[in-house]
């Protein structure tokens, strides 16, 4: 009871209610909130600290930037979301906040468009070598739906596309990437689609910023061929998987396209089924399915590796 009262007291102030309403639209930095609220950074930071202390917000650092978002903790998420959704958008002050939020998003979109314009030709060349991404995504969804995932982690999220594809089927999505530029693109894409239950953050595949056994599904989509140590990347994925969870790896079958190594920094020219399944077994995962998607000059392969234990469907039925 004390914790609930403390959370309600923390939320019960006009500026802090505005902050909750804004973060219900998606994560924001301190600088962005200062611009939107038209208040000094020390004052905004004080409000943010009080909301974090009440477990209503999560805070994480990404280089020199600090991001805030509504709490992802199971015991606080329902409360903070309910409070945020009760804030009337027609309120004059909050309405102006939303207008300035649109300005912030427009700047993000411009940065993302500039990044895409500089890299579009090389991506177009890459995509021409293999089957359409829509076919890859449909196969991924088919393999993952069997587990009814609630929490999904996308390693090397890039544009956030995998989060977008899975968004109708999951409760929470987290994407990590080492590229700040790609995270700008991903945040813009998620905001435009209003996917507030999906977030991205700076993160390393070898040191995933997630707790042990916290994810139902982990996806490595066209990431492993960049890895210096694929074995360690898969072990980290296994670490954060819940019992019965699934790791889905999308990459190329073995090929001889040396230009991918020279021009796109691919360390590996594809993987065999035997290698991925062996790496999975060494990490304690059980190979359960493989799909080969032929088309173009490269074959895309999707491997499914399961964490032994009670499956998600059984856990959900028990909870019901």
Q: Is the pLDDT of residue 1 over 90?
A: no
| pLDDT at position 34 | 95
Please name the residue ranges forming H helices in 150-257: 161-166, 180-192, 230-240
Domain range 129-319, its CATH number among 3.20.20.100, 3.40.50.720, 3.40.50.150, 3.30.70.1560:
3.40.50.150
Cβ contact 205:231 at 8 Å = no
Residues 6 or more apart whose Cβ sits within 8 Å of residue 290 = 273, 277, 301, 302, 303, 304
Cβ contact 41:66 at 8 Å = no
Q: Is the pLDDT of residue 180 over 50?
A: yes
Tokens coding 207:
């040191």
Per-residue pLDDT tens over the stretch 215-264: 999 999 999 998 888 999 999 999 999 999 999 999 999 998 888 888 77
Residues 6 or more apart whose Cβ sits within 8 Å of residue 124 = none
| pLDDT at position 296 | 79
Q: What is the pLDDT confidence band of residue 320, given thresholds at 50, 70 and 90?
A: very low
pTM of the predicted protein model: 0.75
Cα–Cα distance measured from residue 252 to residue 269, given in angstroms and rounded to the nearest whole number: 7
- How many helices (DSSP H) and strands (DSSP E) are in the chain? 13, 10
Q: Of 120-124, 239-243, 304-308, which range is least confident?
A: 120-124
The full length of the chain comes to 320
Q: Is the pLDDT of residue 118 over 80?
A: no
Average pLDDT of the residues of the chain: 87
Cα–Cα distance measured from residue 177 to residue 161, given in angstroms and rounded to the nearest whole number: 13
| pLDDT at position 176 | 96
What residue has token string 């982990």?
218
Per-residue pLDDT tens over the stretch 50-91: 999 998 998 877 667 788 988 877 677 788 888 888 888 889
Closest CA to 72 of 55, 88, 84: 55
Helix (H) or strand (E) holding 58: strand 57-62
Q: Of 74-78, 148-152, 206-210, which range is least confident?
A: 74-78
User: 2-100 in CATH: which number?
Assistant: 1.10.10.10
CB neighbours (10 Å) of residue 9? Answer: 12
Cα–Cα distance measured from residue 99 to residue 105, given in angstroms and rounded to the nearest whole number: 10
Q: Where are the domains of the chain?
A: 2-100, 129-319
Distances (CA, A) of 262 to 257, 297, 310: 9, 18, 44
Residues 6 or more apart whose Cβ sits within 8 Å of residue 136 = 250, 293, 300, 302
Helix (H) or strand (E) holding 63: none
The pairing of strands 65-70 and 57-62 is antiparallel
Q: Output DSSP code: residue 130.
A: S
Give the mean model confidence (pLDDT) for residues 273-281: 95
The CA radius of gyration of the chain, in Å to the nearest whole number, is 21
* Matching fold, domains 2-100 and 129-319: no
């Amino acid at each position: 009871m004390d914790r609930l009262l403390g959370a309600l007291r923390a939320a019960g102030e006009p500026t802090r209610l505005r902050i909750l309403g804004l973060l219900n639209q998606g994560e924001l930095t301190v600088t962005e909130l200062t611009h939107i609220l038209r208040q000094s950074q020390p004052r905004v930071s004080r409000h943010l600290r009080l909301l974090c202390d009440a477990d209503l917000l999560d805070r994480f650092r990404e280089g020199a930037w600090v991001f805030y978002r509504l709490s992802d903790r199971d015991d606080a998420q329902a409360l903070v979301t309910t409070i945020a959704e009760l804030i009337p958008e027609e309120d004059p002050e909050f309405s102006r906040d939303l207008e300035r939020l649109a300005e912030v998003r427009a700047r993000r979109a411009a940065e993302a468009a500039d990044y895409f314009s500089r890299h579009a030709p090389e991506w177009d060349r890459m995509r021409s070598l293999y089957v359409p991404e829509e076919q890859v995504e449909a196969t991924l969804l088919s393999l993952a739906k069997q587990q009814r995932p609630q929490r999904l982690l996308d390693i090397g999220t890039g544009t956030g596309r995998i989060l977008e594809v899975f968004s109708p089927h999951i409760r929470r999505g987290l994407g990590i990437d080492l590229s700040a530029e790609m995270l700008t693109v991903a945040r813009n894409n998620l905001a435009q689609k209003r996917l507030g239950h999906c977030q991205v953050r700076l993160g390393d595949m070898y040191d995933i910023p997630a707790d042990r056994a916290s994810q139902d599904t982990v996806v490595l989509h066209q990431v492993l061929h960049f890895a210096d140590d694929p074995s360690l990347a898969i072990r980290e994925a296994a670490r954060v998987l819940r019992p019965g969870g699934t790791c889905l790896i999308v990459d190329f079958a073995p090929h001889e396209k040396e230009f991918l190594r020279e021009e796109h920094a691919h360390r590996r020219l594809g993987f065999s089924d035997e290698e991925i399944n062996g790496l999975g077994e060494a990490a304690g995962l059980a190979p359960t399915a493989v799909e080969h998607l032929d088309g173009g000059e490269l074959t895309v392969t999707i491997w499914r590796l399961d964490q032994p234990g009670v499956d998600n469907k059984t856990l959900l039925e028990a909870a019901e």
